[in-house]
Structure 1
Amino acid sequence: MTRKNQHSFEDYLNLQRVSPKTREAYLGAVSALSAFHKRPAAELTNDQIQDYLLFCIQEKKLAWASCNVLFCGLKKYYQGYLGRSEAEFSIPRRPRSRQLPRILSQQEVRAILNAHSNLKHRTLLHVVYGSGLRVSEVVKLRPEHIDSSRMMIRVEEAKGRKDRYTILPQTGLELLRQYWQAYRPGKWLFPGPDKSKHITISTAQRVYNQAAEKAGVTKGRGIHTLRHCFATHACDQGVEIFVIKKWLGHAKMETTSVYLHMSPEKVRCIKSPLDSLFEEVRP
């Protein structure tokens, strides 16, 4: 892809209000395709594009998430930016793996949340679990996003560029007040070493990994585990699934409904038709 085309596609993505992370991924997908064929991406045929996708799936063995980002980026470039018709250019989205996330018990979560002696790190983990935030959301929180009068946290420009409100638990508010008294954060609720910038996602991940190691918890993969646990534990406690959907900021109920299948408390309350059948004939 030539620099001129790249800048034009980048401008197109900016006009589409694509997030910086997604924009970088889409530009990278088109550049990688162009480099593979050693030709400008705009000159490639559908067969050449399919050859590259097969190479990524069969030879590079990309994970489903990486493949879907690749597919979406190329689809945005060819169908959105270049205006090719779907009949002329077709990229099927690779089916998502149906592996369920590993869920921690409440005791394991408690051990992780209390593992750090550093108040800032402890507060960050409490907010992620207590409000079900993505790591990209918690690092960008500002003090004014904490609405203690309504017991809500405002999440601005979350995934899909959508704002939402999620729950602010009383325990989380009390810890936030302790943290505020000790640190007096300015622009960002969780600033980095440079106070004008927020803590990075990689730092937040490291905070979680250190806490999990101290707590002796090996299940789960990264800080996003706390968000999964928030949703599952809320489901265990009887919170309606549509409320959890709003708190998490999911676009589709299908995404949230996976937590119904992961809730052991819900499963314990369900009777098999076999039990009901024989209960009727028991003396």
Structure 2
Amino acid sequence: MRTGRASERSQASPRQRFAQPVGDPRDATGLYAAMRRYLAHRATIGSTEQGLYGVERYLRDFIAWAHERAITHPQHVSRPVLERYQRWLYHYRKRDGAPLSVASQRSKLVPLRGWFKWLTRTGAIPANPAADLDLPRRIRRLPRSVLTAREVEQVLALADTGTPLGLRDRALMELLYATGMRRMEVAHLELGDIDAERCVVLIREGKGRRDRLLPLGERALHWVQQYLDRARPLLAWNLAEPTLLLGSEGRALNPVWLSTVVAQYVERAELGKHGGCHLFRHSMATLMLENGADIRFIQAMLGHAELSTTQIYTQVAIRQLQQVHAATHPGAKRREVGGEAQGCTTPEARDVLWEALEDEADE
């Protein structure tokens, strides 16, 4: 596995990626200047650096498109202009010839609505051209891959816990599997966020700047403690460094690199499935649901503001539905072998299912 120094370096601040302005930066009334004022406003009301990066990225896309068509000031942007941009996004083709996904099109349009609403409210423009802009319908897609419990164990077992980096990787994947936290959240964990006494981990300022306290589980805590005792002292050259997971240079890890290294472990397991940190997030939610966890507890684990976002996992956690289907649908039993119907479930599983159904009927 590649663990080169360059791959583990901390990434530059997202805002530092935009070195060049779009349009004339000297024009205080132009689109670029209006964007800068809007971003400053969002920063004052608590937007995260990552959130500001995303908004700036998509506003810059629109400003660049607009300048190519001599649309240089907010007053020049009308509803037909925005609809024209929306059609352009729909017909746009990437280098491989593929269109933008509906989610990508929507992501590029949503910041425009907030921007022009703010420009209208501050009096920069007389009316909001994006007020009634119809966005592409949101499509909630199922995760492409979800690991079974056995497959998770296969991936975890690949980490060489006899080396500092391998032990760190095992602790990383155990954290992801136990909690379902996002890669940005695990990258930002600090030493003080692990409470071994209570066996919990604190996520500070997760998505939407929301904190949450998550159960860690005894096994994940064990591997984190092993990493702290045996690996981190060998990686940390700066004793004042608070970050929990460190790279070979003793610095905080690049969140994008985290997904890369996890994806490499998944590939090495040869499961025919692909994914990185989010694959463990999907798998945690699905496996907990399949084992009877209430969806509202899954919502709390994942840090979803809306229950509707979590409900996608009810479509992935199909085991109970599959068992009921196999036990009750005449067409689910494909053949008779030795006088017994054969289907997708074992006789033992069917017995457990029937007992569960009978228990529910008695309640």
TM-score (norm 1): 0.88
Counterpart amino acid of residue 68 in structure 1 = R
Taking the TM superposition and a 5 Å limit, the aligned residue runs for 1:250-269 are 250-269=304-323
Please report how far the alpha carbon of residue 59 of structure 1 lies from its aligned counterpart in structure 2 after TM superposition.
2.3
Q: 1:3 to 1:51 in 2, by over 3 A?
A: closer
- 68-77 or 19-28, which deviates more: 19-28
2:219 is the alignment partner of 1:178? no
* Deviations, residues 93-127 of structure 1 (Å, cap 9, x unaligned): 32233331121111111111221211111111111
| Percent of paired sites with the same residue | 21
2:180 is the alignment partner of 1:116? no
Counterpart amino acid of residue 244 in structure 2 = L
Distance in 2 separating the partners of 1:151 and 1:205: 25
Please report how far the alpha carbon of residue 174 of structure 1 lies from its aligned counterpart in structure 2 after TM superposition.
0.4
2:192 is the alignment partner of 1:159? no
**Which 4+ residue blocks in structure 1 deviate beyond 6 angstroms?**
none
Q: 1:13 to 1:81 in 2, by over 3 A?
A: farther
Distance in 2 separating the partners of 1:223 and 1:161: 20
Q: 1:93 to 1:147 in 2, by over 3 A?
A: farther
- 267-276 or 150-159, which deviates more: 267-276
2:167 is the alignment partner of 1:138? no
Q: In 1, are the aligned partners of 2:203 and 2:213 still within 8 Å (CA)?
A: yes
Q: 1:161 to 1:87 in 2, by over 3 A?
A: same
Q: 1:52 to 1:248 in 2, by over 3 A?
A: same
Distance in 1 separating the partners of 2:73 and 2:171: 47
Classify the secondary structure of the residue corresponding to 1:93. coil
Taking the TM superposition and a 5 Å limit, the aligned residue runs for 1:8-23 are 8-23=37-52
1:213 matched residue in structure 2: 267
Please report how far the alpha carbon of residue 41 of structure 1 lies from its aligned counterpart in structure 2 after TM superposition.
4.9
Distance in 2 separating the partners of 1:108 and 1:47: 51
* Deviations, residues 22-64 of structure 1 (Å, cap 9, x unaligned): 2122122222222212132513111111111110122233222
Please report how far the alpha carbon of residue 194 of structure 1 lies from its aligned counterpart in structure 2 after TM superposition.
5.0
1:47 matched residue in structure 2: 80
Q: Which runs of 5 or more structure 1 residues have no equivalent in the other structure?
A: none
Counterpart amino acid of residue 5 in structure 1 = A
Distance in 1 separating the partners of 2:278 and 2:272: 14
2:221 is the alignment partner of 1:189? no
2:195 is the alignment partner of 1:147? yes
TM-score (norm 2): 0.70
Distance in 2 separating the partners of 1:49 and 1:275: 51
Distance in 2 separating the partners of 1:32 and 1:162: 29
Taking the TM superposition and a 5 Å limit, the aligned residue runs for 1:221-232 are 221-232=275-286
- 135-144 or 29-38, which deviates more: 29-38
Residue of structure 2 aligned with 1:72, choices 102, 110, 126? 110
1:34 matched residue in structure 2: 63
Q: 1:3 to 1:259 in 2, by over 3 A?
A: closer
- 74-83 or 249-258, which deviates more: 74-83
Cα RMSD after superposing both structures: 2.4
Counterpart amino acid of residue 171 in structure 1 = R
Please report how far the alpha carbon of residue 9 of structure 1 lies from its aligned counterpart in structure 2 after TM superposition.
1.6
Residue of structure 2 aligned with 1:236, choices 290, 307, 329? 290
- 201-210 or 33-42, which deviates more: 33-42
Higher CA-based Rg: 2
- 33-42 or 86-95, which deviates more: 86-95
Distance in 1 separating the partners of 2:245 and 2:274: 24
Distance in 1 separating the partners of 2:41 and 2:115: 9
Counterpart amino acid of residue 131 in structure 1 = T
Counterpart amino acid of residue 226 in structure 2 = Q
Residue of structure 2 aligned with 1:127, choices 168, 175, 181? 175
Classify the secondary structure of the residue corresponding to 1:160. helix
- 212-221 or 90-99, which deviates more: 90-99
Q: In 2, are the aligned partners of 1:12 and 1:81 still within 8 Å (CA)?
A: no
Q: 1:209 to 1:16 in 2, by over 3 A?
A: same
